[in-house]
Amino acid sequence: MQFHATTILSVRCGPHVALGGDGQVTLDKTVIKSDASKIRTLAGGKVVVGFAGAVADAFSLLERFEKKLKDYPANLPRAATELAKDWRSDRALRRLEALMIAVDAQHSLLVSGTGDVIQPSDGILGIGSGGNYAVAAARSLVRHSSLSAADIVREGLRIAGEMDIYSGGAVVVEQLDSQASDSK
């Protein structure tokens, strides 16, 4: 599934994970808004989620995901798997056109309506029409720079915005520190 009109990127680097998204909203070939936020913090700030796809569908998924996080506190993989099972089997949910990335201090997951829950081996995930550009940029930056996870996400989104006409605008980035979570 390929969705247009956004780029969401997550990078896990050292003790940090960052997730960010561009703010551009397009209608056909016209930019309608450049400062939308496609990133949300959930579970009292312990989980960050980014979405690509139809906005109403994404908000429906976020509501369901938040309920799953309450059912399975401190277990992001289980909450994501339960959401993916519901998404795949529920007739109404199956029609939702969205993808999401969810991160916490230990996990980075891509969740799709086909039942996929994927954790990348390199800690880098991208979705949306500019996702592949952002992932390529992030992989290079992780290997060849000493930038922080949040700075790599910002730069990856900037590069994707230069290449993908459906991505751009204001960038929102959230970062979590795994060491801070481990000490609580």
Which residues carry out catalysis? 6
| Calpha distance 135→160 (Å, rounded) | 9
Question: Tokens standing for 147?
Answer: 């930038």
DSSP H helices, the chain, are 55-71, 76-89, 91-94, 131-144, 149-163, 178-182
Strand, coil or helix: what is 86? Answer: helix
CA dist 59 to 53, 99, 144, 160, Å?
10, 11, 36, 24
